[in-house]
Amino acid sequence: RGLTDISLLKRFIHLRYVDLSKNKLKDLAPLSSLTQLLWLKVDGNLLTSASMQELPYLQVISFDRNHITDFEGITHPLLASLSLKENKIETVLGLSHDHLFSLQVLELRGNKIKTTAGLGVSKLKKLYLAKNTICSLEGLEEFEQLETLHLRDNKLEALDGFSNSMKCLQYLNLRSNGIKSFQEVEKLQVLPMLQALVLMDNPCAEEPNYRLEVLSRLPQLQRLDKESIEEEEREEAENIRQARKEKEK
């Protein structure tokens, strides 16, 4: 509706669900009196900051397609899902477990993030970082509860940074990066629960026997590039793995 002023909302202190998407808002200060707010959506506005007064019951926020550059002032204690898709964020520093100890889902695709270093929210279950410019993975050992990690369309050439403390990670999307060798894929052996891996549109996916080479290194996989692993493939990959072991001896 082209709204630029929402000061009228101050009066509606019992509002729980507010959708202000597709307006021209630059300031959310009037929402500070909505202490019962549970769910807030302000996609497609002109916000340069996500900073708001702490709201005690707020559980879901979506700030997609704004001009936000950092995480300053996001401190809601019950916040479980935070989306900042397609903003201008360059660093993940500033999100703090001290304030966001309930955060489980973080959506940051389509920003300008270069590294995962400093992302201090350790209880995350789903982390979406597709379409950034990430070239190094750091600090991931803190994510002991992470189940899903999306890193599609980044600048990764090496897969250092994964840790055996990531014992819940089941789904990893690395599509459209720069992974050239199966030696890099081998580094994913530290992930004990990894079941689904997406590696298509990387240079290594063009190699002969690509699926078997990956499966021989990661035999626990159930799906590769969205296709289930067939029993025949599994047996063939096991033969390759044994042959490689013999050769190394």
Place of tokens 């700030």: 63
CB atoms inside a 10 Å sphere around CB 141: 14
- pLDDT at residue 17 in the model: 98
**Which residues of the chain fall below pLDDT 50?**
none
Nearest-angstrom CA–CA distance, 24 and 26: 7
Q: What six digits make up the tokens of 197? A: 């891996």
- The CA-atom distances, in angstroms, between 101 and each of 37, 38, 136 are 18, 16, 25
* Amino acid sitting at position 166: M
Supply the pTM of this predicted model: 0.94
Beta sheet of 60-62, edge-to-edge order? 17-19, 39-41, 60-62, 81-83, 105-107, 126-128, 148-150, 171-173, 196-198, 223-224, 227-228
User: Domain 1-94 is classified in which CATH homologous superfamily?
Assistant: Ribonuclease Inhibitor (3.80.10.10)
- pLDDT at residue 246 in the model: 86
Nearest-angstrom CA–CA distance, 71 and 87: 11
Q: What six digits make up the tokens of 54? A: 């702490």
The torsion angle over the Cα atoms of residues 62, 65, 70 and 76, rounded to 10 degrees, is -10
- pLDDT at residue 99 in the model: 81
- pLDDT at residue 118 in the model: 86
- pLDDT at residue 233 in the model: 94
**Helices 231-248 and 210-217: angle between axes, nearest 10 degrees:** 70
Domain boundaries, the chain: 1-94
- pLDDT at residue 189 in the model: 97
